[in-house]
């Protein structure tokens, strides 16, 4: 079992990673290399042989392999990203790149998403090397660039151009999941991710007839676009219960001692009975499409010939065709749509031995808790490794106190995590690697 040294080391590593500004502003405006070099040095110091790989100068990824006790077993991928979203220091109570520990809490951009998890994995890897222990199976560590944008310089490129580094991996563990969710007084849930919605970022283009703003115009591109955007924003998507979400509803209902819902029960009606735990499933009962950006015109008295909008769409596994058909209907004949960026949805087996091992590792540290399946509303790097035959799971264990809003920390102001939560993560991940079959 990882000792106190490893637990404290995770905190130090996380703080130092936070101090390395790897802000990803999109469109290639990011430089992860300093963080990648820091991680690689920490792994090399422990006797591992990490490699740094770049598609674009400065956009570094780190990959290393740890030999397991039984090389006949399939390998396990553990991955996390090195980039973070922007943070405005003036908005924060503590500087977002200070990595300050205050009153037992680590502050900074990346404290939850997800330099904390990277630090936990590095600390566990270093402790294994220091103590001469081996994980139950081969482990591949991958710390990636560009997850907060398109992954074109990160996981997507690694999976396409360096698939050999992941040889033998059949399952992968990445971000989001295994955090404490306080569903009721004394009732703790740990959602473990086994599915995630796909990303469908759309560009809508309306074309019309340009003209003077004082004249009637039946082919006004702005008007056509506004109608389509309104239809999309007001559309009520139908419920689509994928296996992970159905299992989550059953497990949460059982934990709350609510009568097990009928398979055909109205999921929305059930949400009202789940109390705070409804937030774990409400965003993933259906596809979604939210208009987010508009652009048209250059002068108030000129009707433009073109107007453009962007929509953040998210698609459940198995619902791609329905999403496309719905967008065709909602945009109508006067507005064209295309993908600005897309990522596939994914879903992995919830009855896999790895799920059982993750459950056991969590319950060993928190015996009174309930482990439930979880579908992530957004996406992670896991979907890029899926075409390599790697089933993806969200498992970054954190023991969190009541009142701590985990989801608000993602991309939020004053992102922070209790030091004790990182200690918990080290103990759980160490136990998992020792026993995962």
Mind listing the domains of the chain with CATH numbers? 4-176+380-435 (3.40.630.10), 198-234+286-342 (3.30.70.360)
What pLDDT score does 265 carry? 74
Of 32, 83, 113, 171, which one is the catalytic site residue? 83
* Residue labelled with tokens 């040889």: 167
pLDDT tens digit string along 74-93? 999 999 999 999 999 999 99
Instruction: List, in sequence order, every residue forming a beta bridge with 182; answer none if it has no partner.
Output: 188
Q: What does the alpha-carbon distance between residue 24 and residue 153 come to, in Å, rounded to a whole number?
A: 12
Mean pLDDT by 10 residues, the chain (437 residues): 92 98 97 98 97 98 97 96 98 98 98 98 97 96 97 97 98 97 97 97 97 94 98 97 95 91 78 94 97 98 97 98 98 97 96 97 98 95 97 98 95 98 98 88
What pLDDT score does 259 carry? 85
Q: What does the alpha-carbon distance between residue 309 and residue 313 come to, in Å, rounded to a whole number?
A: 13
Q: What does the alpha-carbon distance between residue 330 and residue 91 come to, in Å, rounded to a whole number?
A: 38
Q: What does the alpha-carbon distance between residue 216 and residue 218 come to, in Å, rounded to a whole number?
A: 7
What pLDDT score does 193 carry? 98
Q: Is 147 a catalytic residue?
A: yes
What pLDDT score does 3 carry? 86
What pLDDT score does 357 carry? 97
Q: What does the alpha-carbon distance between residue 373 and residue 191 come to, in Å, rounded to a whole number?
A: 6
What pLDDT score does 437 carry? 62
Q: Longest C-alpha distance within the chain, in Å? A: 80
Tell me how far CA of residue 347 lies from CA of 192, 250, 353, 383, in angstroms. Answer: 12, 17, 15, 9
152: tokens are 């074109």
What pLDDT score does 261 carry? 63
Closest CA to 326 of 315, 334, 317: 315
Of 9, 32, 127, 147, which one is the catalytic site residue? 147
Q: What does the alpha-carbon distance between residue 126 and residue 130 come to, in Å, rounded to a whole number?
A: 6
DSSP alpha helix (H) spans, 256-394 = 267-274, 320-331, 353-365, 382-385
Q: Is 3 a catalytic residue?
A: no
């Amino acid at each position: 079992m990882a000792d106190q040294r490893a637990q404290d080391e995770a905190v130090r590593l996380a703080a130092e990673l936070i101090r390395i500004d790897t802000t990803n502003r999109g469109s290639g405006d990011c430089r992860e290399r300093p963080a990648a070099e820091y991680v690689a040095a920490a792994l090399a110091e422990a006797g591992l042989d990490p490699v740094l790989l770049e598609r674009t100068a400065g956009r570094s990824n780190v990959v290393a392999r740890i030999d397991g006790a039984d090389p006949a077993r399939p390998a396990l991928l553990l991955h996390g990203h090195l980039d973070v979203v922007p943070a405005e220091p003036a908005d924060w109570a503590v500087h977002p790149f200070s990595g300050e520990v205050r009153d037992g809490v680590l502050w900074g951009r990346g404290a939850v998403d997800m330099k904390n998890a990277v630090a936990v994995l590095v600390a566990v890897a270093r402790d294994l090397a220091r103590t001469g222990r081996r994980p139950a199976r081969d482990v591949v560590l991958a710390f990636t660039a560009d997850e907060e944008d398109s992954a074109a310089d990160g996981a997507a490129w690694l999976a396409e151009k360096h698939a050999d580094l992941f040889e033998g991996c059949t399952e992968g563990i990445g971000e989001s999941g295994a955090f404490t969710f306080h569903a009721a007084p004394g009732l703790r849930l740990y959602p473990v991710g086994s599915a995630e919605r796909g990303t469908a970022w759309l560009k809508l283009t309306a074309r019309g007839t340009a003209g003077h703003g004082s004249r009637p115009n039946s082919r006004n591109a702005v008007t056509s676009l506004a109608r389509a955007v309104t239809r999309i924003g007001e559309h009520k998507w139908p419920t689509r219960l994928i296996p992970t979400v159905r299992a989550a509803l059953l497990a949460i209902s059982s934990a709350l001692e609510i009568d097990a819902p009928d398979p055909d029960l109205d999921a929305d009606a059930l949400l009202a009975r789940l109390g705070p735990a409804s937030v774990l499933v409400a965003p993933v009962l259906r596809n979604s499409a939210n208009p987010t950006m508009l652009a048209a015109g250059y002068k108030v008295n000129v009707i433009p010939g073109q107007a453009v909008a962007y929509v953040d769409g998210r698609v459940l596994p198995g619902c791609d065709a329905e999403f496309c058909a719905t967008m065709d209907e909602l945009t109508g004949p006067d507005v064209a749509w295309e993908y600005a960026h897309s990522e596939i949805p994914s879903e992995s087996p919830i009855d896999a031995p790895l799920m059982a091992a993750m459950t056991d590792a969590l319950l060993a540290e928190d015996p009174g808790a309930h482990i439930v399946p979880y579908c992530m509303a957004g996406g992670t790097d896991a979907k890029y490794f899926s075409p390599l035959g790697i089933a993806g799971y969200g498992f970054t264990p954190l023991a969190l106190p009541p009142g701590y809003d985990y989801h608000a920390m993602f991309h939020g102001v004053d992102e922070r995590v209790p030091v004790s939560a990182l200690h918990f993560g080290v103990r759980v991940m160490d136990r998992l690697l020792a026993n995962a079959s």
